[in-house]
Amino acid sequence: MNANNTLEFNIILVTLAEHALSQKAMEKLLLLRPFLSERECKSKMQETTEARKILEGIGTPPLASMKELDKILDLTVKGSMLPPEQLTSICGFISSCKRMKKYLKKAEAFNADIAFYGNSFSQLDLLFEEIERCIRNEAVDDGASPVLRDIRRKIENTKSAVKIKLDGILRSKKEWFTDGYVTIRNGRFVLPVKKGYKNQLSGTVIDTSSTGSTCFIEPTAVRKLQEELAVLQIDEDNEIRKILYTLTVLVEEHINELRINKDCMETLDFIFAKAKLSIEMKAVPVSITTERKIIIKQGRHPLLKPDLCVPLDFEIRGDLGDDAINGVVITGPNTGGKTVALKTIGLLSIMAQSGLHVPVSDGSVFCMHNSIFCDIGDGQSISENLSTFSSHIQNIVAILKGVSSESLVLLDELGSGTDPAEGMGLAIAILAELNQRGCLFVATTHYPEIKDFAKNTKGLMNARMEFDRENLQPLYKLQIGEAGESCALYIAQRLGFPGHMLKRAQKEAYGGRSSVSRDIPTILVDEDNPKIDPVSNSKIQKEIPKEKSPSRSESFNIGDSVRVYPQKLLGIIYKRTNERGELGVQIKDKKQLINHKRIKLFIPASELYPEDYDFSIIFDTVENRKARHQLEKGHDVVIEYEED
Q: What share of the chain is helix, strand, coil (3-state, %, to 5)?
A: 45, 20, 35
User: Quick one: pLDDT at residue 326?
Assistant: 95
User: Quick one: pLDDT at residue 335?
Assistant: 63
Please report which helix (H) or strand (E) contains residue 592, including its range.
Answer: strand 590-595
User: Quick one: pLDDT at residue 641?
Assistant: 45
Please report which helix (H) or strand (E) contains residue 345, including its range.
Answer: helix 338-353
Q: What pairing do the DSSP bridges indicate for beta strands 407-411 and 440-444?
A: parallel
Handedness of CA 602, 605, 609, 614 (dihedral sign): positive
| 524 within 8 A of 557, measured Cβ to Cβ | no
| 463 within 8 A of 478, measured Cβ to Cβ | yes
Burial status of residue 563 (CB atoms within 10 A of its CB: 0-12, 13-18, 19 or more): middle
| 188 within 8 A of 218, measured Cβ to Cβ | yes
CA pair distance 301, 348, nearest whole angstrom: 8
Q: What pairing do the DSSP bridges indicate for beta strands 293-299 and 407-411?
A: unpaired
CA pair distance 108, 54, nearest whole angstrom: 9
CA pair distance 204, 91, nearest whole angstrom: 46
User: Quick one: pLDDT at residue 381?
Assistant: 42
How far CA 620 is from CA of 554, 631, 632, 643, in Å, comes to 23, 15, 16, 12
CA pair distance 54, 60, nearest whole angstrom: 9
Burial status of residue 346 (CB atoms within 10 A of its CB: 0-12, 13-18, 19 or more): buried
Any alpha helices (H) in 438-466, and if so which ranges?
448-456
CA pair distance 212, 192, nearest whole angstrom: 11
DSSP assignment letter at 375: E
Nearest to 69 by CA among 85, 53, 45, 46: 85
What does the CA dihedral 628, 631, 636, 639 come to, rounded to 10 degrees?
20
User: Quick one: pLDDT at residue 473?
Assistant: 63
Q: 566 preceded by cis ω (within 30°)?
A: yes
What is the side-by-side order of every strand in the sheet holding 312-317? 287-289, 365-367, 293-299, 312-317
Where b means 16+ CB within 10 Å and e means fewer, 63-94 reads bbbbeebeebbebbeeeebbbbebbbbbbbbb
| 415 within 8 A of 445, measured Cβ to Cβ | yes
pLDDT digits (tens, 9 = 90+) for 424-474: 899 999 999 999 999 999 999 878 788 889 989 999 999 988 766 666 566
User: Quick one: pLDDT at residue 622?
Assistant: 60
DSSP assignment letter at 358: B
The full DSSP string for 496-553 is: T--HHHHHHHHHHHHTT--TTTTTPPP----TTS-SS-TTTTSSS-------PPPPGG
User: Quick one: pLDDT at residue 563?
Assistant: 86
Nearest to 247 by CA among 421, 76, 62: 76
List of domains in the chain: 3-124+254-281 (1.10.1420.10), 146-226 (no CATH), 287-486 (3.40.50.300), 489-538 (no CATH), 556-632 (2.30.30.140)
Nearest to 98 by CA among 134, 132, 140: 132
User: Quick one: pLDDT at residue 156?
Assistant: 94
User: Quick one: pLDDT at residue 260?
Assistant: 95
70 Cβ partners below 8 Å, 6+ apart?
24, 262
User: Quick one: pLDDT at residue 543?
Assistant: 41
CA pair distance 182, 612, nearest whole angstrom: 122
How far CA 308 is from CA of 297, 392, 464, 474, in Å, comes to 17, 30, 20, 13
User: Quick one: pLDDT at residue 100?
Assistant: 96
Average pLDDT per consecutive 10 residues, the chain (644 residues; last block may be shorter): 86 97 96 96 96 96 90 90 95 95 94 92 95 95 95 94 91 86 90 88 89 90 91 96 96 95 96 98 96 95 85 91 91 76 95 97 96 77 54 89 95 83 90 95 87 90 78 72 69 78 79 47 47 38 44 75 80 86 85 85 81 74 62 49 49
| 326 within 8 A of 440, measured Cβ to Cβ | yes
| 491 within 8 A of 467, measured Cβ to Cβ | no
Residue 315 φ then ψ, to 5°: -150, 135
Burial status of residue 43 (CB atoms within 10 A of its CB: 0-12, 13-18, 19 or more): middle
Determine the residue type at 471: N
User: Quick one: pLDDT at residue 337?
Assistant: 81
Q: What pairing do the DSSP bridges indicate for beta strands 287-289 and 365-367?
A: parallel
pLDDT digits (tens, 9 = 90+) for 244-267: 999 999 999 999 999 999 999 999
